[in-house]
Amino acid sequence: MPVLHLPDFSKTFVVETDASGVAIDVVLSQGGHPHSFFSKKLNPKMKVATAYVWEMCVVTESIKKWRQYLLGQHFHIFTDQRSLKELLQQKIQTPEQQKWVPKLQGFNFEIFLQTWETKSGC
């Protein structure tokens, strides 16, 4: 089990997300060392949602959870949902996007596609 490290605000934070039909899991790390993590079960309404909605939920939940670390910092988000890579450039069409995208405004981040080969334990 990796040892959790204290944050170093001179380094880039990395948020690694994963979502399934049961729960969301997120790791906040820097330099390959985990800083914090959390997991949350999905409610019945979310369990029947699409994978895109699960992943958008986990991104916004993680930013909300670690706001005090991420606000004012440039950080990276890794997700396995290809369509989220261009989240902030997409046309907002769904109720979920209308609810969650405004919560991301004011944060300085890039979203990267995380493949199974690059997955580091999230």
The mean pLDDT value for 31-55 works out to 86
Inter-CA distances, 16 with 42, 75, 94, Å: 18, 11, 24
- Listing DSSP states for 7-32 in one string gives --TTS-EEEEEEE-SSEEEEEEEETT
Are 96 and 46 spatial neighbours (Cβ–Cβ below 8 Å)? no
Helix (H, G, I), strand (E, B) or coil at 104: helix
With bands split at pLDDT 50, 70 and 90, how would you rate the model's confidence at 96? confident
With bands split at pLDDT 50, 70 and 90, how would you rate the model's confidence at 122? very low
The mean pLDDT value for 50-76 works out to 90
| Domains of the chain as residue ranges with CATH | 13-113 (3.30.420.10)
Q: How far apart are CA 6 and CA 89, in angstroms?
A: 33
pLDDT at 121: 47
With bands split at pLDDT 50, 70 and 90, how would you rate the model's confidence at 87? low
Indicate if the pLDDT at residue 67 is higher than 60.
Answer: yes
The mean pLDDT value for 85-112 works out to 77
The mean pLDDT value for 87-98 works out to 69
Give the dihedral sign, CA 113/56/67/23. Answer: negative
pTM of the model: 0.81
